Chain A
Amino acid sequence: MTNSPASEHFVRCFVHHQQDLLSYILALVPNIADAQDILQETALALWNKAAEYEPSMPFMNWASKFAWFQVRKFRMYQARRQRHVLMLSDDALQALVAERTKFEPAAFDRSVVLQQCVEKLSQDDRLLLCQRYEMKVSIRQVAEERGVEPVQLYKRLERIRRILLECIEQSTADEQPNKQI
């Protein structure tokens, strides 16, 4: 594919929806590393088929089909390798995909809202998130270094995520009436 306006448009669309795609994949394959691998495979597949993309159609609808295909491929690969990986069933995945189609596109950027919510967290909580997501240190290791039980950190991480979810819900609920006006 050359540097045509169409390809530029495609790349812009991809970059814009990259997080949505990762979110889509992560819902089906909960491991971040696996999900990122699948995202890369999806990116390749999308790039190869970029010429077929109609700019008039929603990018996510088009791209999610590729992602779904890659997820299925990944699961088949795992099943073939006889890895005893605990996975959600096909029925659950289909129910999730169907549920996701009901979601209307958000009128606001959830990542921006999330960033604002993360800024509201305490320094300790941000540090834990930083270790978990940026530095990718295992929780067990963090717990070892801090001299606490890993279960405490797991609980704490879960609580931080709950706080963030509530914050996002609150922020988006506050923004909704403004959007309607």
Chain B
Amino acid sequence: MSYDEHYISELISALCEERATAQQIAELDRLLCTDEEARRLYLKYMDLHARLACLFHKPAVASPFAVPVDDTLPWSMPAEAVEKLPPLTFSVEDAPANVGSNLQQPAPTVSMLPDYELPWEKPRPKVVIETSPPSPIPWYSVNSPIGLPLISYTLGAIITLIAIGIGAVVQITHSYEVAARQAATSEKDSGSGGGGVSGAVAAVEKAEPKKAKAKKQEEAPVVGYISGMADCRWADPSLKPVAPRVRQGTKFALASGLMEITYSSGAKVILQGPCTYEIESPHGGYLSLGKLTARVEPPKSDSSNPAERSRQAFQKRKLSSEKSLFAVRTPTAIITDLGTEFGVEVDEERNTISHVFQGRIEVRFAGDVSGNESHVVVLSANQSARVECGSKQEKPRLIKLDELESATYSAKFARRLREPPKFLDLLDIVAGGDGLGNRRERGIDQNTGRMCSEFHSEYLHGACQYLPVWRHPFIDGVFVPSGRCPSTQLDSAGNAFNGFPPNNGATFGLIWVRSVEVLPEMRNKGWIFEVNNAHRFMPQGRGLLAFHANVGITLDLAAIRKAYPALRLERLRAVAGLADPRPFSSSADGTADLHIFLDGRLKWQKLVMRQEDEPLALSVTLEEQTRFLTIVASDAGDGIRDDCLVLGDVVLEVSPLMEEQGPGSKRPDFKTK
């Protein structure tokens, strides 16, 4: 699964139960637009939702369209039987800490009345469709099987005839007006008199009806598909795509955002709004305004479906026989691919700028068939050219740009739907995300290894045990470093450390990710929401990791690298310090140590951190082969009271590893361990 399955199912469940917030719906919407796995999960979930509704649904009216329901199902119990059921019990995992006392008490009996007034569903009229009419109903009645269709067909036919009549009159009038105008113009141009009516008739014959045009559009061959969209807004809503398939002749008018079209030939075009582009052929299109980036590559043949493989092979043979080069036409130039990645921009004055990222392209004037070499330029990597149309009197000019201008243009083109990230948000990861999101207000219990959605502040004594975090592939495990244990295991590979100062092995609260601003519902929920001057640990305003001693967490960097193969993990960055817990606690004299381990080796350490210390900028370089990154907060020897260690703006800085593959274009694979 390419995203946290539980997180998505939570969002979908909230949507099903009509309790999703606008933020949740926006998040789900974003996932559905961008993540194929999220869409699959959503469809499966909704399919289950629908089938459960059918399975438990008892139709009130017998209808030939109703699905028979087996009344003998074991869970379709009468109310009397239900009342005899034992009281419900809940597992501790489900229940928040503050309702634990309720579990001891017997639950109230559930009363289930079959005729319960439904608070969330108004009674709706059921449609009953009879396949055969009852005999006493006259044939012309709306209740008869003939009468209703007859009346509806008659009404429909009358309305259609009226609409066709009006349409024909409007069309003919308009066509004659246009034709008469054209005829008048042609007569004026030629200087001849007469022939106005015949000219109009001829022009009317030429005028193609809109319907025929639409039909022609539907019959046009499919030349590719929309392979991605990012934040698209449409300049012309009538040109908004309604299906992923792209036919020849399709026009797109983007107001903003990015849209990627993949041609059947393998060529990919990223349209960058505002932009107007028309698919002219299977090997190119017409860019009338805006920017695009094209990358030409052979079609992939890794499909597991034999029929698809055969179709692709056929397509490949067909394409190779045609030997067509991919070309982008603009009002002033034709840019032909010679095996490459390039960008084209058409400005409002219809000038065309072409830039090559890789390979070579040929730029020539639009409509130039003379073969004049001065009208053609071949550009190679990092070169740009501009075709200026000039005024009416001037001829178009083709100017090859210098390196500086080329570099300026190169930065203007979007080469990916999403740019690779500069960092992975460790706060998002600890909160259950993949590092690219902004998840907050979640955490991990260092005493159980479970992910939590509710914060609690409790003193507990940790066991001398390393606890794997099964729910998150990026987090290897958590532990409580204890001086009482002979040594503390740091990761699942068995690396251990026995140099922590002696302590009683106690821990307080959870590893928790807090938002920059304390949400109203989180006030008074624990120390992390009440600390003083929390903002000084979040200069970049990302969030805060509550890391009260004694606690340790280990990240599986290998899993992160596997999920983001195009990224190199550079370093861990954070702002660390001891927060002032005085509103929460009466004193603020805690001291704590912070340790960073790479594969069990101590890499960075700060001993005896105090509340009065300035926030500490933490930066630890990650080596390429490092698998485990362990962060530990331990008591500095004076007990864990007020050891409110926090890490603000915690990120893993990354850099792109490969030029070709943008990680931002695909979410990582979130497989369970």
Interface residues of A (CB under 8 A from B): 1-3, 7-8, 11, 14-15, 18-19, 22-23, 25-27, 30-33, 35-37, 40, 43-44, 47-48, 86-92, 94-96, 98-100, 103, 110-111, 114-115, 118-119, 123-124, 126-127, 129-131, 133-142, 145-149, 151-152, 154-159, 161-162, 164-165, 168
Contact = CB atoms under 8 A, between A and B. Distances in A.
A96 to B, nearest CB: 6
A161 B65 contact: no
A14 B65 contact: yes
B44 A165 contact: yes
A23 B85 CA distance: 32
Interface in B85-101: 85, 88-90, 94-96, 99
B118 A31 contact: no
27 contacts: A2-B145, A14-B65, A15-B64, A19-B51, A26-B49, A26-B53, A27-B46, A32-B53, A40-B126, A44-B129, A91-B229, A94-B242, A94-B244, A99-B39, A114-B51, A119-B74, A131-B110, A131-B112, A134-B58, A145-B111, A148-B99, A148-B107, A156-B94, A161-B9, A161-B49, A162-B9, A165-B48
Contacts of B25: 86-88
Given A11-B65, A152-B96, 18 more contacts: A3-B132, A15-B64, A15-B67, A26-B46, A36-B124, A88-B25, A92-B32, A124-B89, A126-B74, A127-B88, A129-B75, A134-B76, A136-B120, A137-B116, A145-B110, A146-B108, A152-B90, A165-B44
Contacts of A43: 65, 127, 129
Given A44-B129, A129-B56, A130-B56, A18 B65 contact: yes
Nearest to A85: B18
A26 B43 CA distance: 9
Interface of B: 6, 9-10, 13-20, 22, 25, 28-29, 32-33, 36, 39-40, 42-58, 64-65, 67, 73-77, 82, 85, 88-90, 94-96, 99, 102, 107-108, 110-114, 116, 118-122, 124, 126-127, 129, 131-132, 145, 149, 152, 229, 232, 240-244
Contact of B95 (A100, A152, A157, A165): A152
A3 B50 CA distance: 30
Contacts of B56: 129-130, 133-134
A161 B5 CA distance: 13
Contacts of A130: 56, 75-77, 112
A133 B76 CA distance: 11
Nearest to B46: A27
B94 A155 contact: yes
A147 B102 contact: yes
Contact of B120 (A44, A138, A147): A138
